[in-house]
Amino acid sequence: MKEFDHWDEQEHADLTEDEKQILDDLGLQGSTRRKFLKQVSAASLSLWAASTFSSTLLAHPMKETPTKPAFLQNEVAVSFSVNGETHQLNLDSRTSLLDALREHLGLTGSKKGCDHGQCGACTVMINGKRKLSCLTLAATCESHEVTTIEGLAKNGNMHPMQQAFLKHDGFQCGYCTPGQICSSVALLKEAEEGEASYVTEDFRKISSNLELSEEEIRERMSGNICRCGAYNNIVQAFREVHSGKEEMPSWEFATEEQMKKAKNA
């Protein structure tokens, strides 16, 4: 009891301003406040204060964040087309295309994996060429045509590359998939136009309508990382669309004989 009396006397001296504010906000005054303080230790009240205040502080800006900020630093007006629709945006000049798509236009298909140009999850097409939208300033896209994963399907029909990814199971969690598909679609055009890659052996022999080998495909898609490791299936999906021929897995299920051998080994 002595300890509680001590609390009575020391209440205001011992409590921090934050803790006092919490008790005020809870409407705990006089005897109710003293009773409450007798039931909690100083330590738990401090912890509670810390979590309550920090969550209030952290949550507050989220609730209040305007969809259109009232004030922009380094404001620039930019107009570009996304999936065939022209958008006029006023943005901070430092806004990346990825943030403009996700935060300003609500197109969240392009993913922010690393935001440093290392994973390829944010790949989109600008004027038909694949680009990392996290490394592209939106302000540089004036009058350009941007295509994101949301713009590939036409009239409710998936793009052949999307269908092939589904058919060949070219994904697991799906996080890298929008970037993989955009990259693959742009790669089809690169092959048509005869663009060289790091593994192209003879630049003099390069022609349009290239038939890409597996090595070429893997090299050219190497900027798109898949943490789930769906690479074999992605290559298979790409090859089917690229060649127009049905692709079969290059691996086979083990025979019963092989299974038995493996068990006894």
Residue 113 sits in the site that holds ligand FES (CB under 6 A): yes
Residues 66-95 that bind ligand FES (CB under 6 A): none
Residue 122 sits in the site that holds ligand FES (CB under 6 A): yes
Side-chain-side CA neighbours of 223 within 13 Å: the count stands at 19
Instruction: Give the nearest distance from C-beta 99 to ligand FES in angstroms.
Output: 11
Task: Indicate the length of the chain as a whole number.
Answer: 265
Give whichever of 51 and 118 is closer to ligand FES, judged by the CB atom. Answer: 118
CA–CA distances in Å: residue 92 to residues 78, 87, 99, 137, 165 = 10, 15, 11, 10, 36
Task: Provide DSSP, 172-230.
Answer: SS-SSHHHHHHHHHHHHHHHHTT---TT-S-GGG--SS----HHHHHHHTTTS--TT--
CA torsion through residues 213, 160, 168, 114, sign: positive
Instruction: Give the nearest distance from C-beta 111 to ligand FES in angstroms.
Output: 7
Name the one range near ligand FES by CB under 6 A: 2-10, 42-50, 79-87, 114-122: 114-122
Q: What string marks each residue from 123 to 142 as x (binds ligand FES by CB under 6 A) or -?
A: ---------x-x--------
Residue 175 sits in the site that holds ligand FES (CB under 6 A): yes
Both tokens of 209, joined, read 């309508």
Give whichever of 45 and 220 is closer to ligand FES, judged by the CB atom. Answer: 220
Instruction: Give the nearest distance from C-beta 184 to ligand FES in angstroms.
Output: 13
Q: Could you give the CA distance from residue 31 to residue 38 in angstroms, rounded to a whole number?
A: 10
Q: Binding ligand FES by CB under 6 A: which of 46, 81, 93, 172?
A: 172
Name the one range near ligand FES by CB under 6 A: 70-78, 99-107, 175-183, 199-207: 175-183
Q: Could you give the CA distance from residue 129 to residue 206 in angstroms, rounded to a whole number?
A: 19
CA–CA distances in Å: residue 179 to residues 61, 130, 131, 185, 212 = 31, 9, 10, 10, 20
Instruction: Give the nearest distance from C-beta 251 to ligand FES in angstroms.
Output: 18
Q: What string marks each residue from 219 to 258 as x (binds ligand FES by CB under 6 A) or -?
A: -------xxx-x----------------------------
Residues 152-171 that bind ligand FES (CB under 6 A): 171
Q: Binding ligand FES by CB under 6 A: which of 78, 89, 120, 236?
A: 120
Instruction: Give the nearest distance from C-beta 229 to ligand FES in angstroms.
Output: 8
Residue 121 sits in the site that holds ligand FES (CB under 6 A): yes
Q: Which residue has the tokens 């789930």?
A: 228
Q: Which residues bind ligand FES (CB under 6 A)?
A: 112-115, 117-122, 132, 134, 171-177, 226-228, 230
